[in-house]
Chains A and B, each alone.
Chain A
Amino acid sequence: DVKVTQSSRYLVKRTGEKVFLECVQDMDHENMFWYRQDPGLGLRLIYFSYDVKMKEKGDIPEGYSVSREKKERFSLILESASTNQTSMYLCASSTGRLSNYGYTFGSGTRLTVV
């Protein structure tokens, strides 16, 4: 069964901490994505990557960075966590261009920053 695995389902971090959210896919997909989901705002794209070591900013990249050193792993980094980064974080992957085949999502990480 093909999968996108996010390392934590729930995470509680303190303000100012550096936070790493890990995402691993086993489908040999080229493209990987990080979204955050907030009530009333839907899904918003933070960063995406279409190849190893490549990254592009999404709609809300401020306060975040990403790393893609290997094809299967895409990490989201909160450089200095703030309370307004409390959210559900969703990782997804896809193959090919033009999103012809849809995205496969992980189960999400619910991050609380206190």
Chain B
Amino acid sequence: SQQGEEDPQALSIQEGENATMNCSYKTSINNLQWYRQNSGRGLVHLILIRSNEREKHSGRLRVTLDTSKKSSSLLITASRAADTASYFCATDASGGSNYKLTFGKGTLLTVNP
């Protein structure tokens, strides 16, 4: 069952611009995570934000979480061509299995040089 849904499905920007991707989910969560996937490869964990946190930073990444709206956003500042990838949100639903994440379908980000 799909928990998180990313928006937009695809995003194309110029190098140096900021990229914002959104994720909405349906049920209460313990935490929400963002992953990156380069074409044809495995996913790489970027950042985790817990349900009692509102904002988190890691380098050029900024993640916000609004549990009242059941939504999260990932901001990549000063984008680079190397940021071109698919980005997925994943949720760990509270009350559900303590071990598994449910992933959205992803946002394909293209950063043009």
Residues of A within 8 A of B (CB): 4, 31, 33, 35, 40-43, 45, 48, 50, 56, 58-59, 88, 90, 92, 94, 97-108, 110
Residues of B within 8 A of A108 (CB): 40-42
Report the nearest B residue to A33, measured CB to CB: B100
Q: Is the CB of B99 within 8 A of A50?
A: yes
Interface range for B: 20 to 34
Do residues B99 and A105 form an inter-chain contact, with CB atoms below 8 A?
no
- Number of A-B residue pairs with CB-CB distance less than 8 Å in the complex they form: 68
Q: Which of B67-101 contact A (CB under 8 A)?
A: 88, 90, 92, 97-101
**Complex: A48 Cα to B97 Cα, angstroms:** 11
Indicate if the CB atoms of B88 and A43 lie closer than 8 Å.
yes
- With a cutoff of 8 Å between Cβ atoms, the chain A residues found around residue B88 in the complex are 42-43
Contacts known (A59-B1, A98-B92, A99-B31); A48 close to B99, Cβ less than 8 A: yes
- On B, residues with C-beta under 8 Å from A are 1-2, 30-31, 33, 35, 40-45, 48, 88, 90, 92, 97-106
The answer to whether B2 and A103 touch across the interface, beta carbons within 8 angstroms, is no
Q: How far is the CA of A56 from the CA of B97 in the complex (A)?
A: 10
Which 6 pairs show the lowest CB-CB distances between chains A and B?
A: A105-B42, A102-B45, A42-B105, A43-B103, A97-B98, A99-B92
Shortest CB-to-CB span from B34 to chain A, Å, is: 10
What 19 additional pairs, Cβ within 8 angstroms, besides A56-B99, A103-B43?
A4-B42, A33-B100, A40-B105, A42-B105, A50-B99, A59-B1, A88-B40, A90-B43, A92-B42, A94-B99, A98-B92, A98-B98, A99-B30, A99-B92, A100-B31, A102-B45, A103-B45, A105-B43, A108-B41
